[in-house]
């Protein structure tokens, strides 16, 4: 499980530490992949940047990670999400994951 961070896909640039990506991956390649496939709501997990509060991260892997959940680029929910973030002082919005809650 782990917490998920809700922001637009552009926020990945601010919440991930691209220096912690595995060999063969780099910032440009990862962002291009996300831009290519991000037509609908998706979750992206990557290495957490140092400034991310610990309660928003998942330390169970060799590196600490954060998951960002975002609507697709053209989704009308982006306006609601942007307004929610402004109302929260442009801080983080987070939820707990429902993954793994099956029988």
The per-residue pLDDT for range 89-101, each reduced to its tens digit, is 766 777 666 665 4
Q: Write the pLDDT tens digit of every residue in 63-97.
A: 899 888 777 777 888 888 878 878 877 667 776 66
pTM above 0.85, yes or no: no
Two tokens, residue 52: 């991310």
Per residue in 6-17, pLDDT (tens digit) is 445 567 777 889
Residue 89: the pLDDT is 77
Residue 15 phi, psi (nearest 5)? -110, -15
* Distant-in-sequence, close-in-space partners of 96: CB < 8 Å, separation ≥ 6: 1, 3, 4
Domain edges within the chain = 3-96
């Amino acid at each position: 499980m782990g917490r998920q961070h809700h922001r637009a896909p552009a926020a990945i640039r601010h919440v991930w530490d691209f220096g912690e990506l595995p060999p063969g991956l780099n910032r440009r390649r990862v962002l291009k992949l996300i831009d290519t496939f991000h037509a609908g709501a998706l979750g992206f997990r990557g290495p957490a940047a140092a400034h991310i509060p610990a309660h928003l991260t998942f330390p169970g892997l060799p590196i600490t990670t954060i998951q960002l959940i975002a609507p697709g680029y053209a989704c009308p929910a982006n306006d609601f999400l942007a307004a929610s973030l402004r109302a929260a002082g442009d801080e983080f919005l987070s939820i707990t994951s429902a993954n793994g809650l099956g029988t």
